[in-house]
């Protein structure tokens, strides 16, 4: 099979982790007989420096022409003083809007080999398997007006939380469909005791639940959900929520695996290419130091194989290789613990590739430490 993939490394460690995902995909192509063609584009701060905009027209057109999009990360202090429309993050938000990427899927799974890297007790996180479904193109991040203004001669600011009912409907419906393929439970998170938007959200969820009698629906206020994800994360199966709540809660969920560097994501649309990216940021403080964790980006590539290309066996091969490397004791700086050996970004990538290509091989790097 031949597929064309748009590659947007972005800023900071984005370049380093994307390089790892590309090398792993090339190993998949070698093992399974596929051809992946990679076409590169600029986004974020890198695009601002090169083209004066966080999302050049040619990057957007490239993404629309490809079968899927891989993105590293955007942002950094270098561009903090840019006006709002020229901040790196605006490039990512515009890309999501232009590609109609209405839902972000963020899985959080328990890794037995990493149980000692989480600040939570093993008995709390053991067996966690949660999928966060975050609405991606509405809410506070896109509502208008969003501006600084004057009110009675004083500085004031307004951000608008805006949703149309059909935007809520499609993402909540997706959550029910996904729950049917998992453990049959949807937790809808809102702030219905305060926000009118959340009351509509809850009404839509209740209405949709009538079509899915085989799926259990529960509602949870966002402040309680933030506590429950730490106190009892195993209760969650599919979690669905609006844009800002999902942004915050899915980052909170990273504590369950011990690091943001472990969590992949997929942003999906009704038509057109899906986008795949790690949930971590650009981490400019470690850019170029070869210490970033590439696993979230590599697992995002596995999600691409499964969701965009229907390559279930190939996706599972990447996931199994990651698990084997972790079980063997390979750790980047963010997940290293007592008794384990710390490896660099490039070394972790090499271990995953080697394991993909020869599952019987003894891990080269761990052997070097023996």
Active site residue 251: yes
Catalytic residue (one of 19, 42, 191, 340)? 191
C-alpha to C-alpha distance for 127 and 232, rounded to whole angstroms: 11
* pLDDT tens per residue, range 111-122: 888 888 888 888
Q: Which two tokens stand for residue 214?
A: 């085989």
Active site residue 80: no
Number of CB atoms found within 10 A of residue 213's CB: 7
% helix, strand, coil for the chain, step of 5: 50, 20, 30
* pLDDT tens per residue, range 95-147: 999 999 999 999 999 988 888 888 888 899 999 999 999 999 999 999 999 99
Give the three-state DSSP class for 4.
strand
Domains and CATH numbers, the chain: 1-107+258-370 (3.40.718.10), 118-133+140-257 (3.40.718.10)
Q: What is the mean pLDDT of the segment spanning 281-301?
A: 96
Active site residue 223: yes
Q: Are 307 and 97 in contact (CB under 8 A)?
A: no
Q: Are 159 and 140 in contact (CB under 8 A)?
A: yes
**pLDDT at 370 (0 to 100):** 36
**pLDDT at 359 (0 to 100):** 52
* pLDDT tens per residue, range 178-211: 999 999 999 999 999 999 999 999 999 999 999 9
Catalytic residue (one of 102, 110, 141, 276)? 141
Q: Which two tokens stand for residue 141?
A: 């991040």
- Report the mean per-residue pLDDT for the chain: 93
Catalytic residue (one of 67, 129, 159, 251)? 251
Catalytic residue (one of 49, 116, 223, 358)? 223
**pLDDT at 341 (0 to 100):** 84
**pLDDT at 366 (0 to 100):** 42
Closest-CA residue to 321 (of 48, 74, 39, 20): 20
Number of CB atoms found within 10 A of residue 87's CB: 20
Closest-CA residue to 25 (of 349, 362, 361, 365): 349
**pLDDT at 362 (0 to 100):** 39
C-alpha to C-alpha distance for 246 and 240, rounded to whole angstroms: 8
Banded pLDDT at 368 (limits 50, 70, 90)? very low
* pLDDT tens per residue, range 165-180: 999 999 999 999 999 9
Banded pLDDT at 369 (limits 50, 70, 90)? very low
Residue 94 has pLDDT above 80, yes or no: yes
Catalytic residue (one of 42, 247, 274, 353)? 247
């Amino acid at each position: 099979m031949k597929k064309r993939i748009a590659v947007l490394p972005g800023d900071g460690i984005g370049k380093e982790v994307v390089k790892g995902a590309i090398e792993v995909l090339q190993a998949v192509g070698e093992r399974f007989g596929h051809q992946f063609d990679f076409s590169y584009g600029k986004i974020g701060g890198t695009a601002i420096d090169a083209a004066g905009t966080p999302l050049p027209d040619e990057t957007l057109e490239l993404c629309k022409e490809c079968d899927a999009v891989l993105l590293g990360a955007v942002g950094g202090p270098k561009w903090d003083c840019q006006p709002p429309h020229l901040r790196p993050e605006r490039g990512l938000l515009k890309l999501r809007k232009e590609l109609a990427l209405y839902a972000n899927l963020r899985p959080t799974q328990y890794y037995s080999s990493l149980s000692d890297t989480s600040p939570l007790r093993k008995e709390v996180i053991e067996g966690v398997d949660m999928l966060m479904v975050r609405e991606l193109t509405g809410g506070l991040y896109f509502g208008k007006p969003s501006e600084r203004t004057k009110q009675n001669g004083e500085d004031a600011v307004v951000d608008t939380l805006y949703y149309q009912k059909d935007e809520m409907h499609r993402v909540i419906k997706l959550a029910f469909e996904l729950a049917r393929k998992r453990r049959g439970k949807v937790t809808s998170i809102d702030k219905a005791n305060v926000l009118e938007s959340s009351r509509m959200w809850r009404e839509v969820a209740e209405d949709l639940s009538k079509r899915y009698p085989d799926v259990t629906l529960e509602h949870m206020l966002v402040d309680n959900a933030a506590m429950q994800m730490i106190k009892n994360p195993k209760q969650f199966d599919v979690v669905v929520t609006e844009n800002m709540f999902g942004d915050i809660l899915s980052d909170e969920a990273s504590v369950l695996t011990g690091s943001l560097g472990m969590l992949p994501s997929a942003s999906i649309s009704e038509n057109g290419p899906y986008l795949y990216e790690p949930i971590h940021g650009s981490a400019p403080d470690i850019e170029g130091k070869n210490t970033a964790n590439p696993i979230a980006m590599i697992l995002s590539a596995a999600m691409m194989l499964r969701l965009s290309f229907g390559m279930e066996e190939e996706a599972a091969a990447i996931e199994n290789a990651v698990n084997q490397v972790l079980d063997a004791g390979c750790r980047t700086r963010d997940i290293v613990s007592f008794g384990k050996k710390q490896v660099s970004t490039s070394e972790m990538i090499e271990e995953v590739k080697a394991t993909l290509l020869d599952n019987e091989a003894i891990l080269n790097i761990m052997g070097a430490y023996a």
